[in-house]
A and B are shown apart, each in its own frame.
Chain A
Amino acid sequence: MPEKFMQEDKRMTAREAVERFVSDGDSLVIANCLYGTPYALIHEIIRQGRKNLTVFQQGGIDEIDQLILGKCVSSLIMAYNFRVAGERIETVLERALRRGEVEVEDYSNYTLLAMLQAGAMGYPFLPVMSGIRETDVYRKETICAGQKFGEVECPFTGEKVVVVKGRNPDVAVLHVQRADKAGNAQLWGALINSKWACLASSRVIVSCEQIVDRDTIMRSPHLTIVPSFRVCAVVEEPWGAHPSELLGFYDYDMIFRSLLFMQTMSEEGGKAWMDEWVYGVADRREYLQHYADRFGLKYLQELRAKPYPSIPADYGASGRRAWDENEVSFNFQLTRDEFLRALEEKGGFVNG
């Protein structure tokens, strides 16, 4: 059974959150992919030198390379990794694979996410589209050997159905637009894997652009992607997804990403990038300060989103209570006295 996290106030720094809730050897899932990447939390995991992590990644963009440069990862279970250049350029991940520093198991987007969905729902396995049988995603097994795919017979048709195993990572990291201090986390825009990655995990660390009050959450509950009782830590971290993007807040930083890409083409460049942007700063605030010192704050400001607000849904109800101002019941249309009298007369009371 997943643990419940019932404290009213789970606000803490990224440092505290990672210290308390991420351990060496954990399985970690990055609960946003491509979009809203939780870089502030990932950088903190790297700074604290976590080791031997098994990382579930739906679709990496450049954070997996950084976790590898930080020597945090031993195994990767993933469906996709963004690759910018052709064969002549070796990626960080390729270098690590050639040296045997990390192992990888390949999945498709759906089969990987179905494992997390099964885990989130508490099922031992879930069926997936059986056509996967005809691919090497099915046939080729490495670290998940014997546990990657299975087959069951449909009890209704007798047909053979391919299934994946339910997975429950130890910890998920998620970045969202806003959350309350208890951890009700609201995300909008591309939802991809976020919900299932969080709900599958034992612990969820949320970072957000803004901490908002409970009333804001209650006025837009459809935006809550993970409920507070599953969240163990809430970190307010403006620009916490930079250089990736977050709808309503900022665009991705293409120029900065190009710098990262160009530096990580070489071993030394990758190390220099990490020394400057991860190890060289204590936290996200210093990271932003360093960005401002090095490039000027205006380049961050240029990435700011222009408003395109959602039309709010009206969550109003009539507000009529069970007993109105004249003490008349909403359901029975009786006064309080008439109601009590009826309970007496009809034998509604059982305790004499």
Chain B
Amino acid sequence: MAEVRYTEAEIIVANAAREIEDGDIVVIGQGIPMAAGVLAKATHAPNCVILTEAGLVGIEPFRNPLHIADPTCTRGYTYSCDMIDVFSTIVNRGLVDVTFLGVGQIDRYGNMNSTVFGDYHDFRMRMMGAGGAPEFFGYARKAVLTMRGGKFVEKVDYVSSPGYLDGYDAREKAGFPPGSGPKVVYATKGVFRFHEESKEIYLAGVFPGHTVEEIKAEVPWDLMVADELAELPPPTREEVELIREFAPEIAAGRRLQLELSIPRILNILASRTS
């Protein structure tokens, strides 16, 4: 059998999808996480319930949504509620098994920033607010992180989502549900997990084609490395086909997507006006 060729995003999506178990209630935003959720549902977790904070519960999107309320991609779903219901009756009641988040900045204890890069007032880049991150990250049983273009930093510029705070039992002491918190980070070169006791992040596996040194160079502290690095499976042919069918733009990655689509869109606009 010929080797399966896959993109950087596809190996992340395929591995992140395996974090979902059949029957899980999964809160997902757009992008790589949604592709992972849909892949899980199409393969090993047909009974997982995917919901978005917009109040669309039990969705089966046929195209990767542009945003959490995107209706054409969530045509038909099984429970319609609003955002208050999602956060109060689902998240706060501890019913969320898995949540996914994309990483902007992350520190050694899994605290994350998706609000502002640089100084709060003299910023480099300003997203706004923290969206659903604080509550999903705070109260889901397990948070799965995906990182493309994100950064490890000694200290995040703004804490949007609480990870393990200062490590050890700080998170539980602060009142978050026992056992909750970030569990794994799927990045482009490898996968990271959190030390059982200290809650410090460590390198747990390296993707084919990358080295530990390369990864350590991207982390501003002396990164812990597992004694035995996990062998991460590349995506199967079926997984790759499913991802490209559902979300070709995710498979391509944002940079390539913009590179491919902007000239085409400019051409379309030009042809429409001529």
- B135 & A110 in contact (Cβ 8 Å cutoff): yes
Q: Using known A-B contacts A134-B165, A189-B69, A192-B69, determine if residue A117 contacts B272 with beta carbons closer than 8 Å.
A: no
- Please, what's the 1-or-0 string for A91-128, where 1 marks a CB less than 8 Å from any CB in chain B? 10110010000001011111111100100000000000
- B273 & A294 in contact (Cβ 8 Å cutoff): yes
**From residue A148, how far is it (CB to closest CB) to chain B in Å?**
12
- B70 & A107 in contact (Cβ 8 Å cutoff): no
Chain A interface size, as a band, is: 35 or more
* Nearest residue, chain A, Cβ from B124: A87
For residue A334, CB closer than 8 A to chain B, the reply is no
Of B39-47, B74-82, B183-191, B238-246, the segment with at least 4 beta carbons within 8 Å of chain A is: B74-82
The 8 Å CB contact of A129, one of B71, B92, B120, is B92
* Nearest residue, chain B, Cβ from A251: B72
* Nearest residue, chain B, Cβ from A114: B84
Q: Which of A240-262 contact B (CB under 8 A)?
A: 245-247, 251-252, 254-255, 258-259, 262
- A129 & B273 in contact (Cβ 8 Å cutoff): no
- B129 & A131 in contact (Cβ 8 Å cutoff): no
For residue A295, CB closer than 8 A to chain B, the reply is yes
- Please, what's the 1-or-0 string for B62-73, where 1 marks a CB less than 8 Å from any CB in chain A? 000011111110
- Please, what's the 1-or-0 string for B239-274, where 1 marks a CB less than 8 Å from any CB in chain A? 000000000000000000010011001101100110
For residue A59, CB closer than 8 A to chain B, the reply is yes
For residue A6, CB closer than 8 A to chain B, the reply is no
On chain B, the residues within 8 Å of A259 by CB distance are 265, 269
On chain A, the residues within 8 Å of B262 by CB distance are 258, 262
Total A-B Cβ pairs within 8 A: 194
For the complex, give the distance between the alpha carbons of A254 and B265 in Å.
9
The 8 Å CB contact of B70, one of A58, A110, A245, A294, is A245
On chain B, the residues within 8 Å of A189 by CB distance are 69, 71
**From residue B112, how far is it (CB to closest CB) to chain A in Å?**
10
* Nearest residue, chain A, Cβ from B163: A134
- A140 & B120 in contact (Cβ 8 Å cutoff): yes
For the complex, give the distance between the alpha carbons of A91 and B135 in Å.
27
For the complex, give the distance between the alpha carbons of A104 and B126 in Å.
11
- Please, what's the 1-or-0 string for A318-351, where 1 marks a CB less than 8 Å from any CB in chain B? 0000000000000000000000000000000000
For residue A86, CB closer than 8 A to chain B, the reply is yes
For the complex, give the distance between the alpha carbons of A150 and B176 in Å.
19
Q: Using known A-B contacts A35-B54, A131-B176, determine if residue A137 contacts B130 with beta carbons closer than 8 Å.
A: yes
- B126 & A135 in contact (Cβ 8 Å cutoff): no
On chain B, the residues within 8 Å of A168 by CB distance are none
Interface size on B (CB < 8 Å)?
A: 61
For the complex, give the distance between the alpha carbons of A258 and B161 in Å.
30
For the complex, give the distance between the alpha carbons of A255 and B265 in Å.
7
Q: Using known A-B contacts A129-B92, A131-B138, determine if residue A191 contacts B82 with beta carbons closer than 8 Å.
A: yes
For residue B132, CB closer than 8 A to chain A, the reply is yes
- B83 & A113 in contact (Cβ 8 Å cutoff): yes
On chain A, the residues within 8 Å of B125 by CB distance are 86-87, 94
- A136 & B115 in contact (Cβ 8 Å cutoff): yes
For residue B6, CB closer than 8 A to chain A, the reply is no
For residue B49, CB closer than 8 A to chain A, the reply is no
**From residue A301, how far is it (CB to closest CB) to chain B in Å?**
13
For the complex, give the distance between the alpha carbons of A247 and B120 in Å.
38
Of A41-49, A75-83, A209-217, the segment with at least 4 beta carbons within 8 Å of chain B is: A75-83
On chain B, the residues within 8 Å of A60 by CB distance are 128
* Nearest residue, chain A, Cβ from B76: A308
On chain A, the residues within 8 Å of B146 by CB distance are none
Q: Which of B108-129 contact A (CB under 8 A)?
A: 115-117, 120, 123-129
- B126 & A93 in contact (Cβ 8 Å cutoff): yes
For residue A228, CB closer than 8 A to chain B, the reply is no
Q: Which of A219-270 contact B (CB under 8 A)?
A: 245-247, 251-252, 254-255, 258-259, 262
* Nearest residue, chain B, Cβ from A298: B272
Q: Which of B122-170 contact A (CB under 8 A)?
A: 123-135, 138-139, 149, 158-162, 165
On chain B, the residues within 8 Å of A108 by CB distance are 129-135
For residue A296, CB closer than 8 A to chain B, the reply is yes
For the complex, give the distance between the alpha carbons of A85 and B66 in Å.
14
**From residue B274, how far is it (CB to closest CB) to chain A in Å?**
10
For the complex, give the distance between the alpha carbons of A83 and B129 in Å.
12
For the complex, give the distance between the alpha carbons of A193 and B86 in Å.
11
A interface residues (Cβ-Cβ under 8 A, vs B): 33-35, 58-61, 76, 78-83, 85-87, 91, 93-94, 97, 104, 106-114, 117, 129-137, 139-140, 188-196, 245-247, 251-252, 254-255, 258-259, 262, 294-296, 299, 305, 308
A81-B127, A109-B130, A247-B72 are known; give 15 further A-B pairs, CB within 8 A: A35-B67, A35-B70, A59-B69, A79-B128, A79-B129, A107-B130, A110-B87, A113-B84, A131-B135, A131-B175, A135-B159, A196-B82, A196-B84, A252-B66, A252-B72
Q: Give 13 A-B contacts (CB < 8 Å), ordered by A residue.
A: A34-B67, A87-B117, A106-B115, A108-B133, A108-B134, A110-B83, A110-B134, A129-B87, A130-B175, A135-B159, A190-B71, A258-B261, A258-B262
B interface residues (Cβ-Cβ under 8 A, vs A): 52-56, 66-72, 74-76, 80-84, 87, 91-92, 115-117, 120, 123-135, 138-139, 149, 158-162, 165, 174-176, 258, 261-262, 265-266, 268-269, 272-273
